[in-house]
Chain A
Amino acid sequence: MQDQVDGMELETLYQRYCIRLKHALFLSCLSVAAATSAGLLITTCVMEDLTIGLLPITTMSILTFALFCILLASQFPIILESDAWALVSSLLIAVIVTTSILLLGQRHAPLPLFALLLAIHTMLPLSRAVALALAAVVTAAYMGWSIADRVNDERHSHYLQLIPECVLLVTASCTGLYYRHMTEAAHRRTFVGTRTCIESRVKLECEKEQQEQLLLSVIPAYIAAEVKRSIMLKMADACNEHSNRSFHEMYVQRHNNVSILYADIVNFTPLSEQLSASDLVKTLNELFGRFDQIAQDNQCMRIKILGDCYYCVSGLPVSRPNHAYNCVNMGLQMIEAIRFVREATGFNVDMRIGIHTGNVLCGVLGLRKWQFDVWSDDVTLANHMESGGIAGRVHITRATLHQLGDRFQVEPGDGIGRESYLADHKIETFLIVPPKKPESEAQNGNAKPPLALSDRHNSICGDGMYGMATPSGPPTRSRPSSKMTKYVECWGADKPFANIAESTLAKNIELTSGSYQKTLAMIESNLLPDRNTCLECKKSWNSEDLHPALLWFRNRKIENEYRSQPDAEFRCYIAFASCVFLAMCIMQVATIPRTIVLYGTLAPTFVVLTVFVYLCWLDGCCSPRPPSDTPADEPGACSPPGEVVTGSRCLRLAIFLVSVVLISACAAVTLVDYQPVLIPVASEGVVRKNGTNATEEEGEHSMETLPTYLYSSVLSLAAISVFLRMGFLLKLCLMVASVIIHIILYRYMDLFNDPHYDKFSAIPLEVKSALVLTVVVIFFHILDRQIEFTSRTDYLWKAKLKVEQEEVETMRGINKILLENILPAHVAEHFLASRDTQELYHERYSCIAVMFASIPNYKEFYDESDVNKQGLECLRLLNEIICEFDKLLLKPKFSCIEKIKTIGSTYMLASGLRPGEEENSTEASRKEEHIIVALVDFAVSLMTSLDQINRDAFQRFKLRVGLNHGAVIAGVVGAQKPQYDIWGNTVNVASRMDSCGIMGRIQVTEETAKILMNAGYPCECRGMTYVKGKGNLTTYFVKTPFDDK
Chain B
Amino acid sequence: MNELDSLRQEAETLKNAIRDARKAACDTSLVQATASLEPIGRVQMRTRRTLRGHLAKIYAMHWGSDSRNLVSASQDGKLIVWDSHTTNKVHAIPLRSSWVMTCAYAPSGSYVACGGLDNICSIYSLKTREGNVRVSRELPGHTGYLSCCRFLDDNQIVTSSGDMSCALWDIETGQQVTSFLGHTGDVMSLSLSPDMRTFVSGACDASAKLWDIREGLCKQTFPGHESDINAVTFFPNGYAFATGSDDATCRLFDIRADQELAMYSHDNIICGITSVAFSKSGRLLLAGYDDFNCNVWDSMKTERAGILAGHDNRVSCLGVTENGMAVGTGSWDSFLRIWN
Given A627-B127, A817-B56, A825-B98: A895 touches B162 (CB 8 Å cut-off): yes
* A58, CB-defined interface residue at 8 Å: no
* A636, CB-defined interface residue at 8 Å: no
Contact with A along B105-143 (1 / 0, CB 8 A): 000111000000100000000010100000000000000
Q: Is there contact, CB below 8 Å, between A892 and B188?
A: yes
Task: Considering the complex, give the chain B residue whose CB is closest to the CB of A893.
Answer: B186
Roughly how many angstroms separate A239 CA and B55 CA in the complex, as a whole number?
Answer: 15
Q: Is there contact, CB below 8 Å, between A892 and B145?
A: yes
* Chain A residues in 8 Å Cβ range of B147: 892
Q: Is there contact, CB below 8 Å, between A238 and B335?
A: yes
Which of A628, A813, A893 is in CB contact (< 8 Å) with B76?
A813
* B228, CB-defined interface residue at 8 Å: yes
Q: Which of B191-249 contact A (CB under 8 A)?
A: 204, 228
Q: Is there contact, CB below 8 Å, between B99 and A825?
A: yes
* Number of A-B residue pairs having CB atoms within 8 Å of each other in the complex: 59
Given A235-B55, A816-B76: A892 touches B109 (CB 8 Å cut-off): no
A222 to chain B, nearest CB (A): 22
* Chain A residues in 8 Å Cβ range of B83: 633
* Chain A residues in 8 Å Cβ range of B75: 817
A1010 to chain B, nearest CB (A): 12
Number of interface residues of B (CB under 8 A): 36
A635 to chain B, nearest CB (A): 10
Q: Is there contact, CB below 8 Å, between A633 and B335?
A: no
* Chain A residues in 8 Å Cβ range of B129: 627
A708 to chain B, nearest CB (A): 50
Roughly how many angstroms separate A633 CA and B47 CA in the complex, as a whole number?
Answer: 23
Contact with B along A789-813 (1 / 0, CB 8 A): 0000000000000000000001001
* Chain B residues in 8 Å Cβ range of A235: 52, 55, 334
B272 to chain A, nearest CB (A): 9
Roughly how many angstroms separate A628 CA and B126 CA in the complex, as a whole number?
Answer: 10
* A243, CB-defined interface residue at 8 Å: yes
A632 to chain B, nearest CB (A): 9
* Chain B residues in 8 Å Cβ range of A474: none
* B68, CB-defined interface residue at 8 Å: yes
Task: Considering the complex, give the chain A residue whose CB is closest to the CB of B57.
Answer: A890
Given A245-B312, A628-B127, A893-B186: A817 touches B228 (CB 8 Å cut-off): no
Q: Is there contact, CB below 8 Å, between B76 and A238?
A: no
Q: Is there contact, CB below 8 Å, between B50 and A893?
A: no
Q: Is there contact, CB below 8 Å, between B109 and A239?
A: no
Roughly how many angstroms separate A243 CA and B292 CA in the complex, as a whole number?
Answer: 12
A349 to chain B, nearest CB (A): 41
* Chain A residues in 8 Å Cβ range of B338: none
* B69, CB-defined interface residue at 8 Å: yes
B70 to chain A, nearest CB (A): 12
Roughly how many angstroms separate A628 CA and B83 CA in the complex, as a whole number?
Answer: 17
Q: Is there contact, CB below 8 Å, between B52 and A238?
A: yes
* B324, CB-defined interface residue at 8 Å: no
* Chain A residues in 8 Å Cβ range of B294: none
B76 to chain A, nearest CB (A): 5
Given A238-B50, A631-B109: A817 touches B66 (CB 8 Å cut-off): no
Given A633-B83, A895-B117: A243 touches B109 (CB 8 Å cut-off): no
Q: Which of A204-222 contact B (CB under 8 A)?
A: none
Roughly how many angstroms separate A245 CA and B204 CA in the complex, as a whole number?
Answer: 31
* A766, CB-defined interface residue at 8 Å: no
* B182, CB-defined interface residue at 8 Å: no
* A241, CB-defined interface residue at 8 Å: yes
* Chain A residues in 8 Å Cβ range of B69: 633
A28 to chain B, nearest CB (A): 39
Which of A238, A239, A633, A825 is in CB contact (< 8 Å) with B66?
A633
* A428, CB-defined interface residue at 8 Å: no
A252 to chain B, nearest CB (A): 22
Roughly how many angstroms separate A300 CA and B31 CA in the complex, as a whole number?
Answer: 70
* Chain B residues in 8 Å Cβ range of A245: 312
Contact with B along A877-895 (1 / 0, CB 8 A): 0000000000000101101
A1019 to chain B, nearest CB (A): 15
* B39, CB-defined interface residue at 8 Å: no
Task: Considering the complex, give the chain A residue whose CB is closest to the CB of B163.
Answer: A930
B173 to chain A, nearest CB (A): 21
Roughly how many angstroms separate A814 CA and B129 CA in the complex, as a whole number?
Answer: 33
Most chain A CB inside 10 Å of its own CB: which residue of B55, B57, B99, B188: B55
Roughly how many angstroms separate A627 CA and B125 CA in the complex, as a whole number?
Answer: 13
* A873, CB-defined interface residue at 8 Å: no
B110 to chain A, nearest CB (A): 5
Which of B57, B68, B228, B333 is in CB contact (< 8 Å) with A893?
B228
Q: Is there contact, CB below 8 Å, between A817 and B76?
A: yes
* B101, CB-defined interface residue at 8 Å: yes
Roughly how many angstroms separate A69 CA and B240 CA in the complex, as a whole number?
Answer: 92
* Chain B residues in 8 Å Cβ range of A816: 76-77, 98
* Chain A residues in 8 Å Cβ range of B188: 892-893
Q: Is there contact, CB below 8 Å, between A628 and B110?
A: yes
* A704, CB-defined interface residue at 8 Å: no
Roughly how many angstroms separate A892 CA and B129 CA in the complex, as a whole number?
Answer: 36
A700 to chain B, nearest CB (A): 62
* A820, CB-defined interface residue at 8 Å: yes
* Chain A residues in 8 Å Cβ range of B185: 893
* Chain B residues in 8 Å Cβ range of A631: 66, 109
Contact with B along A215-244 (1 / 0, CB 8 A): 000000000000000010011001101010
Q: A634-B66, A825-B117 are in contact. List 9 more A-B contacts (CB 8 A).
A: A239-B50, A633-B68, A810-B55, A814-B55, A817-B75, A820-B98, A892-B101, A893-B188, A893-B204
Question: Closest 3 interchain pairs by CB?
Answer: A813-B55, A893-B186, A628-B127
A-B contact pairs, 7 of them (CB 8 A): A231-B55, A238-B52, A239-B50, A627-B127, A817-B56, A892-B101, A892-B162
B residues lining the A interface (CB < 8 Å): 47, 50, 52, 55-57, 66, 68-69, 75-77, 83, 90, 98-99, 101, 108-110, 117, 127, 129, 145, 147, 162, 185-186, 188, 204, 228, 310, 312, 333-335
